[in-house]
Chain A
Amino acid sequence: MVVAVVLVLIVVGSVVFHFLSPWWWTPIASNWGYIDNTIIITFWITGAVFAAVVLFVAYCVWRFRHKDGQKADYEPENKRLENWLMGLTAVGVAAMLIPGLFVWGQFISVPAEATEAEVVGAQWQWAYRLPGADGKLGLSDTRLVAADNPYGIKPDDPNGHDDVLIEADYLHLPIDKPVKMLLRSVDTLHDFYVAEFRSKMDMIPGAVTYFWFTPTRTGQFEVLCAELCGTGHPYMRGGVVVDTQEDYDAWLAGQQTYAQLYAPEVLKTADID
């Protein structure tokens, strides 16, 4: 009896907690509301299954608990019931998977008009690079990283000279413009994560990873590192400021390019090929 009651309380308590708890996702600031919707679908389906299974167990425990003289049924199999349950489960799984795959297709298809912004991770800080007037980022290589070239930009690549370097905690982005975040690390794994954008991706030394999103709300959002990167991992914070176009242009005008900061034309071209 006690067991059955406790099982019912677990279901009721979990559902009540879900709706009343103050802990829920942050207000979204990107176009990935689809992801939130998929999570909601998943919550409804899985919640219903959880409640059904546990309440069924509670009923069985209450109804079929041992009493003197009671004898259990002998029922080895019931193919029809098993097939029905299998079919229903497959339908439920498909109901979660299909919208999920559809949204994933969008998540990995970067729109052609997206501008690029690069994030460079190093223990334990963020730096950013924008492509500058030509719209192209210069090539980079970890082996070129040095005090006078913290991003490892190839000095002989002309595309890199006008790249805007932001050696600060905050990256600014214009609202409602899709942006492709190019992610790079010079030491170990990091992960560029902004909860309000609902997206994250690991950064791998020796590779460039990416994701894209469109900021939909102005404001300042905290960047967290979401991949363990040594003892300073929880302190690796930065920020993204989503501006109106005018504010963004004003901010951008105040930034300096690679050429202005490090004068690559006077640097020796490192021979690494």
Chain B
Amino acid sequence: MVDATHGPDAHAAEFPDVELYHPRSWWTRYVFSQDAKVIAIQYASTALAIGMLALVLSWLMRMQLAFPGFLTFIDAAAYYQFITMHGMIMVIYLITALFLGGFGNYLIPLMLGARDMVFPYVNMLSYWTYLLAVLVLVASWFTPGGPTGAGWTLYPPQAILSNTPGQESGIVLMLVSLILFVIGFTMGGLNYIVTVLQGRTRGMTLMRMPLTVWGIFIATVMAMLAFPALFVACVMMLFDKLLGTSFFMPALVEMGELLPHDGGSPILFQHLFWFFGHPEVYIVALPAFGIVSDLISTHARKNIFGYRMMVWAIVIIGALSFVVWAHHMYVSGMNPYFGFFFAVTTLIIAVPTAIKVYNWVLTLWRGDIHLNPPMLFALAFIVTFVNGGLTGLFLGNVVVDVPLSDTMFVVAHFHMVMGVAPILVIFGAIYHWYPKITGRMLDNTLAHLHFWVTFLGAYLIFFPMHYLGIMGVPRRYFESGDISFQPPSAHDLNIFITVMALIVGAAQLVFVFNLIWSIRHGKPSGGNPWRATTLEWQTPETPPVHGNFGRELPVVYRWAYDYSVPGAAEDFIPQNQPGTNPPHSEAPKKRRGAKS
């Protein structure tokens, strides 16, 4: 732990005020705003809105699986459009955008003691490009043939062939939307990276940053390296579709007719897609790791256990996640010898990931655990993430993947680990930071209702689903009732899962109601309701105004986890609290191993 402190005379107001852009009208203050906090709320609202659409789509596809034929407008084409759009929206347009565009924008400047992102104008463009990407995606519903139904992985050749829904224009709009998303995200991402590297206030060394920032920072670096692969894959497929090139298209016969493509490689697309797609899993997971560390530490009133190990685990996971992508392709027909390499790298990632889990639960040990809504969601995250992470050890172990790949086991696994778990963190984070964003608390009773239904319901949806996959039920089946080896009881399980999905989905309406209702009617929160140490809770105003910190930027004297410090007056010491550090200040080094 770096504990060098700056003298109490360190002066923060060395950046002239003119450097900060000031809005002059309502439009530039609330709509075309360059303030990261406003952009964050714009990102988050857009992501939650499009996420509600993805939620409704999941209801519809579950209705089809449990009660085939009940909703007559769902035919096979519609079903495949629903699963494709549900997956794409949830992964990219909801979770990625919300973690990085939403929490990243709101928390990075505030947690680092900066007035704003370093490139506010580009930051604004980032949001508007993202919004355009969402609108292009939604527009595909209003084109002939509708949105693409190629599955969220968009595998060619099928994605651009005529027996796939959305072949007319849906696939084109999908690819254009992804390209726009990558462009928009690159503008935002460069901002986050440069702000973390250059915009920290005095005393905020890298090893004093809250883990939230570490998670978002490394995830953004990864996104900068991974999204280009998606970008080029989309461009190449657009060329195949619109210009008749053959990047991914071998000679093939469609409906008895030889198409003019020749020599392309479908598996090349899969490599490009998963070179993006696997880091994407961690782009979603690392911000969740970081945020949940801070939630657990704050609400257990205890420093995060093994901070340095946590930072290095984030960095190592981020690096390793670039050499595991082909574990999505064990049965793709790639050279089978790759299986050895990718199984080894994939299972190695389990080690730093497990360390993170141990450190979360060891943070609870001898803590002072306040079961506030953010803590409840953090605990639920641990349960679902451990569950989903462990089933990843089945799928990552190449030969075990052979029977399980492309079955409902995979669906259950990735929903648990990169759907349910990160979204539980998103909820916890919203309950945690809503008071800072609005100055009011969310209603506690509604929060508990939302929590219990969401957590238990999601577990009851996805835990039993694994067993359908072990039985061998394939995923992406519009109808699965007539599979020979499936007992009738499997259909009962499908009905149960669907009913739970409807209930869990409905519980999200409670959450949305709480979000809107509490803006006006919530209990006033004060500036630091959770008695937290990090800088965003130390702003002079709540919600923080333009410029975040008033006339002078805070100066940081300690790490982010000084909770329950022996000898301190209170059970937390804000990072910017000046004065001599209590005797524990060199503790991290001296006390190492003291407990063993």
Contacts and interface: CB of A to CB of B under 8 A. Distances in A.
Is this pair of chains taken from one and the same complex? yes
Contacts of B456: 6
Contact of A38 (B400, B478, B594): B400
A10 B254 CA distance: 50
Interface in A6-65: 6-7, 10, 14, 17, 21-26, 32, 34-35, 38-39, 42, 45-46, 49-50, 53-54, 56-57, 60-61, 64-65
Contacts of B343: 97, 100-101, 104
Given A76-B303, A193-B406, A231-B76, A104 B266 contact: no
Interface residues of B, number: 121
Given A73-B302, A82-B306, A183-B333, A57 B361 contact: yes
B8 to A, nearest CB: 24
Given A22-B487, A38-B399, A231-B165, A50 B333 contact: no
Contacts of B386: 49-50, 53-54
Interface in A226-251: 226-234
B513 interface: no
Given A25-B472, A77-B307, A86-B355, A57 B379 contact: yes
Contacts of A122: 253
A188 B254 CA distance: 9
A140 to B, nearest CB: 12
Contact of B405 (A7, A97, A103, A226): A226
Interface in B510-547: none
- Chain A binding site: helix, strand, loop or mixed by DSSP? mixed
Interface in B393-407: 393-394, 397-400, 402-403, 405-407
A143 interface: yes
Interface stretch (B271-279, B287-295, B585-593): B585-593
A81 B253 contact: no
A74 B407 CA distance: 46
A123 interface: yes
Contacts of B561: 76
A38 B161 CA distance: 39
B361 A60 contact: yes
A39 B382 CA distance: 24
B134 interface: no
Nearest to B490: A23
A162 interface: no
A100 B405 contact: no
A76 B358 contact: no
Nearest to B83: A228
A203 interface: yes
B483 A61 contact: no
B157 A189 contact: yes
B569 interface: no
B266 A206 contact: yes
B323 interface: no
Contact of A24 (B77, B300, B470): B470
B571 A82 contact: no
Interface stretch (A88-96, A130-138, A168-176, A259-267): A88-96
Contacts of B157: 187-189, 205
Given A3-B376, A77-B306, A82-B309, A50 B390 contact: yes
Contact of B77 (A3, A108, A231): A231
A221 B382 CA distance: 40
Contact of B406 (A26, A53, A105, A226): A226
A39 B376 CA distance: 32
A198 B163 CA distance: 29
Interface in B353-412: 354-355, 357-359, 361-362, 364-371, 376, 379, 382-383, 386-387, 390-391, 393-394, 397-400, 402-403, 405-407
A26 B472 CA distance: 8
Interface in A191-220: 191, 193, 195-196, 198-207, 209, 211
Contact of B471 (A7, A72, A195): A195
A117 interface: no
B566 A74 contact: yes
Given A222-B485, A230-B164, A72 B379 contact: no
Interface of A: 3, 6-7, 10, 14, 17, 21-26, 32, 34-35, 38-39, 42, 45-46, 49-50, 53-54, 56-57, 60-61, 64-66, 70-82, 85-86, 89-90, 93, 96-97, 100-101, 103-105, 107-108, 122-123, 141-143, 145, 147, 183, 185-189, 191, 193, 195-196, 198-207, 209, 211, 221-222, 224-234
Given A35-B402, A78-B596, 10 more contacts: A23-B467, A56-B361, A60-B369, A65-B369, A76-B1, A97-B344, A123-B163, A189-B155, A228-B158, A231-B163
What 8 A-B pairs are tightest by C-beta distance, nearest first? Answer: A206-B250, A195-B472, A230-B163, A209-B333, A46-B390, A60-B364, A72-B564, A72-B302
